[in-house]
Amino acid sequence: MNFLAPMAFTFAATIPVVVLFYLLKRKRIVKLVSSTLLWQKFLAESQASSPFQKLRHNWLLVLQILMLLLVILALARPYFAAPSRQQRLLVFILDASASMQSVDVSPSRFEAAREQALSWLDSLRSGDQVVVLEAGPTTRVKQSPTSSQTELRRALKDCRVTDGPTRLTDALKLAETLTRDLAKSEIHLFSDGIATGLNEFETKGLPLFFHKIGKRGANAGIVSLDVKAHPEDPARRALYASVANYATNALETELELKFNDQVLEVRPLAAKPRETVSVVFSTQQAQDGVFSMRLAAKDDLAADNQAFVMSLLPRPVKVLLVSKGNRFLEKALRGAAHVELATANALLSPAREYDLVVLDGVLPAVWPSGNVLAIHTYNTNWFTGGGPVANPAIVAWKSTHPLLRWVNFDNVAISEGMGIQSNLWATPILEATQTPLILAGDYNRQRIVWIGFDVLQSTWPYRVSFPIFMANAVEWLNPAAAYASQLQVKAGLPFRLTLTQPADNTPASVKPPDGPEQKLALENGATEIVIGDTSRQGIYHLKVGTNELAYCVNLLDAAESDNAPRAELTLGGRGKVAATTLRRVNMEWWRWLAAAGLAVLLYEWWYYHRRTA
């Protein structure tokens, strides 16, 4: 038998005190009587000089000592440890994503998960080692393998919940690496089970125990927010938001829109259970600033009830078209918003004065240094191939990509394309059976859109999708738009900012939304700032030298807002891990001892009153 609180045996010092009370003589009360004939024995005892008397056998004393022993044993928390033949390695994964801030359990799911993990430490066998992982948007090792209860409790208490989405894949990969070659190992995940993308673990055979945290899903949240120029009035700004109600009850609340702390509009909002409502605001904007949106819903998760977006006023886009002559393309580019178009027959310089360069079937003598829209031409460093492909049939296009917003390729025929093998930097957004036809991506800090066919040798210029695509391409390739997208960060992901000039002992600092200003150390010659601490959503203020800017960190994750706890984890099509309950290896006996002590106390009370009645 072992004891979790052996210091409780110091209360055994109370047993001699009880015995002492039985050794003391009773204090007599003075009474007047007519004769002492019948009270001789009493007078002999009262006249004794010693304050103590001989200890006599007394069942009340025995019962009281027995009760004290049972209480002391209960306080010492005895337990019988399960037999252990081999040491184990246990990996504790504490889910620190935004949904763990839900308050359907008190005080929150995250705190309940932490308490459950702490209680598991009491059941460790001698020699067991534990690793503590904090699984938020990124996985952090809070404690390497150790048997020290002090270090493990410190590591668990040091974990912090974030405003970012769940990313359990990296945590499970690390846990699988740690336990792969061990016969005795366990992975304990303390989470609400809101996780996707775990298919790769279907055949891994992980020794995974899923401890479900949470009781219900009663939440509504802002799941998307974007700002664009108003399609009917370019002088105004349009904000597009989506609000999802994941509760089982209808939602009636208000949606508030602010610009730089100034309330612009408060709009009533209603949504049916499991319904997503789209909302559009239209407003004037006189300067660069931050739009913030707040949902006044009383639900279990507050992290998704607000969102922020940096809005920069549109500026002219300087575009250079290098072409032998293409009126369709030139007209489509001029029709895009805020375009200042220049044309040329050849390109002999990097064209640094232009925001983007459009190459229409022209191989330049010097490739431009900025963003490029290349049509029926390419740089040999981009990919291999280039042979002709006759009549490529369009089979698929990526309609979710920003370049293909409101664009489709129905009834578009192409007489000839270029057969290439795309590289990792490029994403195919339009594909034929034999080859990709349109690619988009970043290569050596350039944004590139490549069209692998001559648009004049196709029916595309006669379709309405052609000018729409060109407008989307100008917006996507515009360096100002890329800069604006840099100012929107997913919670938990690093913020990156390219410097216009290399740092040279330049002072820099960042102020998070809920903390003090923090100094940043920039190396001499650095061309980029990377800030990794974005665990809290809100508006961050960055100072670099004399320049100051703000960037926004948001959750905006529909899967995270759907905060109903899952009864099982899905690992691929067939792999599933059902939620388990807390198992204790060591059996404690203090409850039974306390109950026995109470029974003895009640019996002592009954025996005393029966004897004195």
Tell me the domain boundaries of the chain. Answer: 2-80+601-612, 89-215+565-585, 317-483
Is-contact 301 563, C-beta < 8 A?
yes
Q: How far from chain centre, in Å, is Cα 590?
A: 39
Q: Count other Cβ atoms within 10 Å, centred on residue 134.
A: 23
Whether 318 shows a pLDDT value over 70: the answer reads yes
pLDDT for 98 beyond 60: yes
Strand 208-212 and strand 575-580: pairing? parallel
Q: What is the pLDDT of residue 385?
A: 81
pLDDT for the residue numbered 187: 94
Confidence at 33, pLDDT banded by 50, 70, 90: low
CATH class belonging to 89-215+565-585: alpha beta
| pLDDT of residue 585 exceeding 70 | no
| Whole-number Å distance between alpha carbons of 499 and 478 | 17
pLDDT on residue 36: 62
Q: Which helix (H) or strand (E) holds 481?
A: helix 479-486
Rounded Cα–Cα distance for residues 444 and 315 (Å):
25
Which ranges constitute the DSSP H helices of 419-460? Answer: none
Is it true that 89-215+565-585 and 317-483 share their CATH fold?
yes
Alpha carbon distance 120, 367 (integer Å): 62
pLDDT of 38: 61
Kindly indicate the confidence band of residue 498, based on its pLDDT and cuts at 50, 70 and 90: confident
Query: Strand 185-191 vs strand 89-95: parallel, antiparallel, or unpaired?
Result: parallel
Q: Does the pLDDT at position 47 exceed 60?
A: no
Least confident of 189-193, 246-250, 335-339: 335-339
Is residue 293 within 8 A of residue 239, CB to CB? The reply is yes
Q: In whole angstroms, give the CA distance from residue 105 to residue 112.
A: 7
Residue 63 has a pLDDT of 77
Residue 224 banded pLDDT, cuts 50, 70, 90: very high
- pLDDT (tens digit, 9 = 90+) per residue, 388-426? 999 999 999 999 999 998 899 999 999 999 999 877 899
Number of H helices, E strands in the chain: 11, 34
Rounded Cα distance between 552 and 288, Å, is 13
Lowest-pLDDT choice from 28-37, 170-179, 351-360: 28-37
Higher pLDDT, 429 or 68: 429
Does residue 264 carry a pLDDT above 90? yes
**What's the pLDDT at 201?**
87
Distance of CA 412 to the CA centre of its chain: 43
Q: Does domain 317-483 have CATH number 3.40.50.2000?
A: no
Look at residue 41 and tell me whether its pLDDT is greater than 70. Answer: no
Percent of the chain predicted with pLDDT > 70: 90
Per-residue pLDDT tens over the stretch 295-307 = 999 999 999 999 9
Lowest mean pLDDT among 218-222, 410-414, 502-506, 573-577: 573-577
Give pLDDT tens digits for 350-393: 999 999 999 999 999 999 999 999 999 999 899 888 789 999 99
